[in-house]
Structure 1
Amino acid sequence: MSAPKIDPASYATQLAEKQQRLSELLAPFDAPAPELFDSPREHYRLRAEFRLWREGEQRHYAMFEAGDKHRPILIDDFPIASTRINALMPRLKAAWQASATLSFKLFQVEFLTTLAGDALITLCYHRPLDALWQAEAERLAEELDVSLVGRSRGQRLVIGRDHVIEKLEVAGRRFRYRQPEGAFTQPNGVVCEKMLNWAFEALGQRDDDLLELYCGNGNFTLPLATRVRQVLATEISKTSVNAALANLADNGVNNVSLVRLSAEELTEALNEVRPFRRLAGLDLKSYEFGSVFVDPPRAGMDPDTCELTRRFQRILYISCNPETLAANIAQLHDTHRVSRCALFDQFPYTHHMEAGVLLERR
């Protein structure tokens, strides 16, 4: 069985259908027509994950339909993945087929690449990794010119770096991002760059402060920090917090305070429900917040956090789930109007889409 074929000829139709769907979801709020940001038709995905399927003495890249783990779709190439991933796939396969050390109990392969040309491969095993494996893996990493991570239960061996470097341009400035292995990053780099530029423009130049919830590795934090006096950013993932701190330092962005709190915890702190040790030394009352930026998970903002955002003059919201976005806007619609909205096609040939809205106080 071969991988499903994409159909670039149908792309415009699919994108128009998504635009119509977003317009319908936002129609109750008198939103303007969505600005449209399309994707490359092929080779747009910078991450890919494959299980390995064994037939005889050979292991093949494989994917499965949702809910079906018994009938693999065997993959030789993957047109939606970056050209770097497609170039690495056959070379990695040839390497594990030529080496019992590399292939023994190897069950999953993950690729992480960047528009800047960096690449990291993660090899996952159902066995301990020893010195022989490390020697073989070091030779492979050098041959493929990649960083490599070996994972097994209780083990994580890193050859090279445990992150890739991305470079994205926003309003003429190039920002440098460390993207850690195993942490969330935007999968479509071209569309991510369009999202950053849209958010940068939508926020505008401000003389007050920005609150950012769910900041991740600082993807939006870096460019948005150049538009305001100072930023208070929050993120709960320790890996993402460490990456964000490194990215702030690497880019010389020094007007951001980052705290490891969930959005719900920060809401409690701002409402003075209870104190948090992680906020010690930070004077929340010294901030003059005019805007809040949120990029929540698919579940959207919880009701209390949504209510918190009502305090701000401007709410800049990036969403990976337009249904929960619409539910959050419904809660805010009596005090805020949608002045701008956008569709970002991160996931061509699927029903998934990213959306952005700017809500301003009435």
Structure 2
Amino acid sequence: MTSSYQQQLDAKIERIQTQFSEFNPPSLEVFASPEQHFRMRAEFRIWHTDDEMFYAMFERDADQQKKVIRIDEFPIADQNINTLMPILLTELKSNEVLAKRLFEVHFLATLKGEILVTLVYRAPLNEAWETSAKQLAEQLNIKIVGRSRGQKLVLSDEFVIEELQVFERKFQYKQIESSFTQPNAQVCQKMLEWACNAAESSEKDLLELYCGNGNFTLPLSLKFNRVLATELAKSSVYAAQWNIQENQIDNIQVARLSAEEFTQAYNGEREFRRLQEAEIDIQSYQFDSVFVDPPRAGIDDDTLKLLQGFNHIIYISCNPDTLHDNLKTLLQTHKIVKFAMFDQFPYTHHIESGVLLEKI
């Protein structure tokens, strides 16, 4: 590792160890990132001048004024994104239809080399744009989606298929344009393996809250009799169901519920037609373990109370502060037996962490 990356990683390790020391956790397992070409997503503004057009990002100066930073290469992004960036820009510049009122360019790549490009405009997209964009997509062997206010044009697919390896098995994931996916695929694979190691093989069932597109659901399903996964976003539920079928896994059901709604259903406080329509009987499950990967806000109080009834809790967190706060409740009934940090976002202050909790 270079000294600059090691220094920022060491700073994150020290921060996490200091913040959580009051809980006396076991030794921290640290999963580093590649130093370059680790981001599978990148988004840029397109900056227009009288005689030039280039990728741009912004930073604030000492007076908090936005300063335009020209981007000719982006080493933290996937190598295929870096290779495509100048080629795509040259083609866009040479085509007045594609260049006019172009506002942003978004890249979504996979470890297998597939790339989807979203072109965002400040003007409506017409037939001429669609014709030119299709030609460009074929020429560069990429997928293109066009967006403007209230308009979205999908030329072929609005998704890429990622392949992540977990131990000896490869899993296929549909990743939909503009939907959340893990940005650092190589660290994501380490997270999946850590979660699977944390989950002891069980003849009972797993509850997963906030399942997204099934990123963790698929490999974890191999450790349990059945899995009930919950997710509220329709696009993520659709992707998760596609991923389950594509990977030929038959012991997962996905319920379109928020964590709060699941808690209400599980406690018998509310009935949901969505569960009936999906033929999901929550009471038929014999839950022993729960996996949670909540948003930055953490877990609500009612759901925390629900989790306290499970023997095993695997908690992946994108916000150490809310994890720390949630643990104040969960450690009333559980103890930490595994503690990990995943450097999903090198060169930023963001930290992804994980704990395995067992009932006292």
Q: Which of residues 78, 84, 92 is equivalent to 1:82?
A: 78
Cross-structure match for 2:152 = 156
Deviation at 1:171, TM superposition (A): 2.0
Over the aligned positions, Cα root-mean-square deviation in angstroms equals: 1.3
Q: Which of residues 280, 287, 297 is equivalent to 1:289?
A: 287
- Matched to 1:93, the amino acid is L
- Matched to 2:19, the amino acid is L
- Matched to 1:355, the amino acid is S
Q: Which of residues 58, 68, 93 is equivalent to 1:64?
A: 58
Partners of 1:69 and 1:306 lie apart in 2 by: 42
Cross-structure match for 1:318 = 316
Q: Indicate conservation of the 8 Å contact 2:104/2:120, yes or no.
A: yes
Secondary structure in 2 matching 1:117: coil
Partners of 1:111 and 1:321 lie apart in 2 by: 25
Secondary structure in 2 matching 1:64: strand
Cross-structure match for 2:352 = 354
- Matched to 1:99, the amino acid is N
Partners of 1:70 and 1:95 lie apart in 2 by: 28
| Residue 300, structure 1, aligned to residue 326, structure 2 | no
Aligned length: 356
Q: Which of residues 231, 256, 265 is equivalent to 1:269?
A: 265
| Residue 188, structure 1, aligned to residue 184, structure 2 | yes
Cross-structure match for 2:224 = 228
Q: Which of residues 25, 31, 34 is equivalent to 2:19?
A: 25
Post-superposition Cα deviations, 1:201-244, rounded to whole Å, max 9, x if no partner, equal: 11121110000000000000000011100011010111111000
Partners of 1:77 and 1:69 lie apart in 2 by: 24
Post-superposition Cα deviations, 1:268-302, rounded to whole Å, max 9, x if no partner, equal: 11111111111113221111000000000011111
Cross-structure match for 1:334 = 332
Q: Which of residues 237, 256, 260 is equivalent to 1:260?
A: 256
Q: Indicate conservation of the 8 Å contact 2:59/2:66, yes or no.
A: no
Cross-structure match for 1:4 = none
Partners of 2:79 and 2:15 lie apart in 1 by: 31
Cross-structure match for 2:33 = 39
| Residue 14, structure 1, aligned to residue 1, structure 2 | no
Post-superposition Cα deviations, 1:14-55, rounded to whole Å, max 9, x if no partner, equal: 112211111122212111121010000001001000011112
Unpaired segments ≥5 residues, structure 1: 1-6
Post-superposition Cα deviations, 1:186-209, rounded to whole Å, max 9, x if no partner, equal: 000100000000001111211100
Percent identity, aligned pairs only, is 51
Secondary structure in 1 matching 2:223: coil
- Matched to 1:258, the amino acid is V
Partners of 2:194 and 2:204 lie apart in 1 by: 20
TM-score w.r.t. structure 1 length?
0.96
TM-score w.r.t. structure 2 length?
0.97
Deviation at 1:8, TM superposition (A): 3.8
Deviation at 1:69, TM superposition (A): 7.3
Secondary structure in 2 matching 1:205: coil
Q: Which of residues 170, 176, 179 is equivalent to 2:175?
A: 179
Cross-structure match for 1:108 = 104
Q: Indicate conservation of the 8 Å contact 2:210/2:292, yes or no.
A: yes
